[in-house]
Amino acid sequence: MTDLLDDRDNLILLENLVSGEAVSVNLSTLSRAVGKHRNTVKAKVESVFTHNILHRPIYPFLGLYRICPLLVVIQLDIPRNPLDRERFERWVQEDPYIFAAYRARQGEYDTLLFVYHQSITSFQLWMNSLPSVLKLQYNLSEEAANFVSSASYFSNERIIKYEPSSGIHLIEEDFAQKDELTVNDYKLDQVDLAIMKKLVAGEGIKTNFTVLCAKTGLHRKTVEKRIATLLKERWVGSPVCRFPGFFVPPNYVLTYSLYEIRKSKERVIREIRQDPHIPISYEIMLGKYNMLLFGNYRTLSDHLRWEDEYVQKFPDAIGSASITYLSPEMTIAFDHQIVSLSIIRNRLKSTRGRKLREALQVPPLSSV
């Protein structure tokens, strides 16, 4: 197959793997890995999920970055009118291109949107369509629907570090320092932490082949072979549990930072790749800035200490910086899966439409 996503059965597999419908925790494997009784592990796992410390397991859709190689960060003002604001935020939460939105006073704007797109052209067409969408589908006023914005473009092909769950190491450090840790009103212990480390590393997770065979009508061996191909071709990654905030553990501060690295860039990149504070980073070209970092910190003071350590470690290498702090309280919406599943389901819809058209097509008359 030239494109694995042209195949209907592959798309059905992807929908069930990426949504997590056919993925679950293997309690027996996990109990052996952490050396605890299965019932103890089951209760701990459910507590971690119900307290929204980790999401249930999924297959990450790595094909997202191939299909949407453009990350756009949009700065805009959210409407002040309460009714328009409510409707605007509902659009933000539902739009299939937006995976995150924060209230963030940055210069003249008060809101940040993180958006994935196929190209600058597709982004501009989407932006041009928004006033009509906001007025007709969300009933925003004329003034609120025609908002002013500023956009920064980054290439997903220039990601230099991709480790969304690196923040688990910060949780581990925090726990070791305090000998206890409460997250989302749940008091973690050593067993919780051991389980979480396994789950974010993809250990103790199983795939429900019975569900996948029933959904596709394919034999188990065929399903296993297709999933192996999707993994090999990097359309998906191995199944893992992720933080609800994707980049950042619960209750930690996320930083969106643009840096000017004047020299020793390769040394700085090597350090970043080993740094648990940085889950994702990009090489960029935006004015004098040449590096984008998404960072995790317990407090703003922790970030300032982190930055000072880099300045000391790499004298004269760190130049200008633009840093935006995004706390959990500033979150308007966050759903990294919305873009991935929208892509998969739209392709699946198009294959169903194609099959219907083929079925309805009148066969040519036989020649006499």
- Confidence (pLDDT) at 355: 55
Tell whether the model's pLDDT for residue 98 goes beyond 90: yes
| pTM reported for the whole predicted model | 0.90
User: Is residue 361 very low, low, confident or very high in pLDDT (cuts 50, 70, 90)?
Assistant: low
Give the rounded percent of residues in the chain with a pLDDT score beyond 70: 95
Tell whether the model's pLDDT for residue 35 goes beyond 90: yes
Mean of pLDDT values over 173-189:
90
Tell whether the model's pLDDT for residue 30 goes beyond 80: yes
Is the backbone of residue 257 left (phi > 0), alpha (psi -120 to 50) or beta?
Answer: beta
Q: Where are the alpha helices (DSSP H) in the chain?
A: 8-18, 27-34, 38-50, 64-67, 82-94, 120-136, 142-145, 168-178, 190-200, 209-216, 220-232, 265-273, 300-313, 336-360
User: Is residue 317 very low, low, confident or very high in pLDDT (cuts 50, 70, 90)?
Assistant: very high
- Confidence (pLDDT) at 358: 52
Q: Within the chain, how many helices (H) and strands (E) appear?
A: 14, 14
Tokens matching residue 57: 């397991």
- 169 Cβ contact list (under 8 Å, min separation 6): 276
Q: Which CATH architecture has domain 246-330?
A: 2-Layer Sandwich (3.30)
User: Is residue 360 very low, low, confident or very high in pLDDT (cuts 50, 70, 90)?
Assistant: very low
Strand bridging mode 23-25 / 205-207: antiparallel
Mean of pLDDT values over 274-298:
96
- Confidence (pLDDT) at 4: 86
The answer to whether 115 and 76 are in contact (CB under 8 A) is no
Q: Which residue is listed with tokens 């929208």? A: 342
- Confidence (pLDDT) at 352: 67
What 3-state DSSP class applies to 260? strand
- Confidence (pLDDT) at 178: 81
Mean of pLDDT values over 311-335:
92
* Direct distance between the N- and C-terminal alpha carbons of the chain, in angstroms, rounded to an integer: 36
- Confidence (pLDDT) at 271: 97
What 3-state DSSP class applies to 356? helix
Mean of pLDDT values over 288-303:
95
The model's pLDDT over 105-135, given as tens digits with 9 standing for 90+, comes to: 777 899 999 999 999 999 999 999 999 999 9
Mean of pLDDT values over 151-169:
96
The model's pLDDT over 242-252, given as tens digits with 9 standing for 90+, comes to: 999 888 999 99
Tell whether the model's pLDDT for residue 353 goes beyond 60: no
**209-216 and 8-18 helices cross at what angle (nearest 10)?**
140
Q: What's the mean per-residue pLDDT of the chain?
A: 92
Higher pLDDT, 84 or 361: 84
The answer to whether 26 and 206 are in contact (CB under 8 A) is yes
Mean of pLDDT values over 133-145:
94
